[in-house]
Amino acid sequence: MKHLNYLQTRPSSRYDENDPEQEGNKNTKFADLIIDGRSLYQMLKKYDMVPSLGWGSEEHQKQMIDYFLLNQMHTYLFYRYPILVCPWCGDEECGFISVFIERGEEQVIWRDFKLEPNNKSINIGPFYFNWEDYKSAIINTYGTAGIQ
């Protein structure tokens, strides 16, 4: 059996309060994905993208949750889902990081992270989560940064 990772979420933002980089930039607030105590946002910060969960319109947030719970297949990525997106607009056309998500009986696997649209592999994961804990964490991202 594979080592199970533990997924949590917490409110976060693109810049710290005193970060000079936030001057003139959008300080997007989002639901950070914390894997075994480590922030996925921080692990992938060099790509200047933010997690796709917890921000945007109500419709967008519900769609992201449906993707991550595998209730809805992505229109053109199929079993890949945008996990980090443009911090300005969240639009996939700006580029994004995708992850392949699959579910076994009692676990979910995140693997094969890629920088899109270049289809460039990112050396992170795979991560294995208990389904019930995972489901709860993903559902709890709704409204983290409010509804825009």
- Please indicate whether residue 14 or residue 57 has the higher confidence score (pLDDT): 57
Across the range 21-34, mean pLDDT stands at 82
CA angle 80–82–84, rounded 5-degree value: 140
- The pLDDT assigned to 21 comes to 67
Query: What region does 70 belong to: left with phi over 0, alpha with psi -120 to 50, or beta?
Result: left
- The pLDDT assigned to 19 comes to 66
Query: Is the separation of the CB atoms in 99 and 121 below 8 Å?
Result: no
Residue 55 class from Cβ within 10 Å (0-12 exposed, 13-18 middle, 19+ buried)?
A: buried
pLDDT in tens, 120-143: 999 999 999 999 999 999 999 999
Instruction: Select from 80, 85, 5 the least CA-distant residue to 37.
Output: 5
At 119, is the pLDDT very low, low, confident or very high (cuts 50, 70, 90)?
Answer: very high
pLDDT in tens, 72-118: 999 888 889 999 999 989 889 999 999 999 999 899 999 999 999 99
The DSSP bridge partners found for residue 111 are: 100
Domains of the chain, by residue range, sit at 7-139
